């Protein structure tokens, strides 16, 4: 997932589950935490960080919320994840355009920057491509018991 404007880019990747299939507490969400990597670029500075900050069901809910937005059923979507290290908000800003804001906490780096943030405009085609990418991720990372 790439979010960018003229000055800043935030690339987010879902790498893997945090724990192996038989790891973590089976009665909790432990087996459904996803590890995300953020690559933040601004003014020639490149910062990378990873964090287990998204649950499999939150990935599905985000995908569904953005589909509802893209389909015109709602005018906005805002994430409400258990861990606030990653946030995404989007709203319709005109015919076939969306204003999107993304942030990712850079808690595991030695840099002076502690938050990767970008606001950008996405076209309808950009949103469809993002949704296709999210659909693939939802298939790749289903809920585990």
Helix H or strand E segment including 94: strand 86-94
Would you say residue 10 has pLDDT above 80? yes
**Which class in CATH covers the domain with range 2-140?**
mainly beta
**pLDDT, tens digit, 9 for 90 and up, residues 105-134:** 999 888 888 999 999 999 999 999 999 999
What are 120's strand-pairing partners?
100
What whole-number distance in Å separates Cα of residue 33 and Cα of residue 79? Answer: 16
Residue 46 scores a pLDDT above 80: yes
Long-range Cβ contacts of 70-79 (<8 Å, 24+ apart) = 70/98, 70/124, 70/127, 70/128, 70/131
Q: Flag whether the pTM goes above 0.75.
A: yes
**pLDDT 10s digits, 66-118:** 999 999 999 999 999 999 999 999 999 988 999 999 999 999 888 888 999 99
How confident is residue 26, by pLDDT bands cut at 50, 70 and 90? confident
């Amino acid at each position: 997932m790439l979010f960018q404007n003229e000055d800043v880019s935030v690339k987010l990747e879902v790498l893997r589950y945090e724990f192996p299939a038989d790891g973590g507490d089976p009665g909790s969400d432990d087996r459904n935490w996803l590890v995300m990597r953020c690559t933040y670029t601004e003014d020639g500075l490149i910062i990378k960080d990873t964090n287990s900050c998204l649950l499999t069901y939150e990935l599905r809910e985000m995908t569904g919320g953005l589909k509802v937005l893209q389909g015109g059923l709602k005018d906005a979507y805002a994430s409400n994840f258990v861990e606030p290290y990653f946030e995404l908000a989007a709203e319709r800003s005109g015919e076939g355009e969306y204003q999107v804001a993304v942030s990712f906490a850079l808690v595991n780096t030695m840099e002076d920057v502690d938050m990767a943030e970008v606001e950008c405009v996405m076209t309808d085609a950009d949103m469809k491509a993002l949704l296709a990418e999210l659909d693939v991720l939802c298939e790749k990372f289903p809920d585990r018991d």
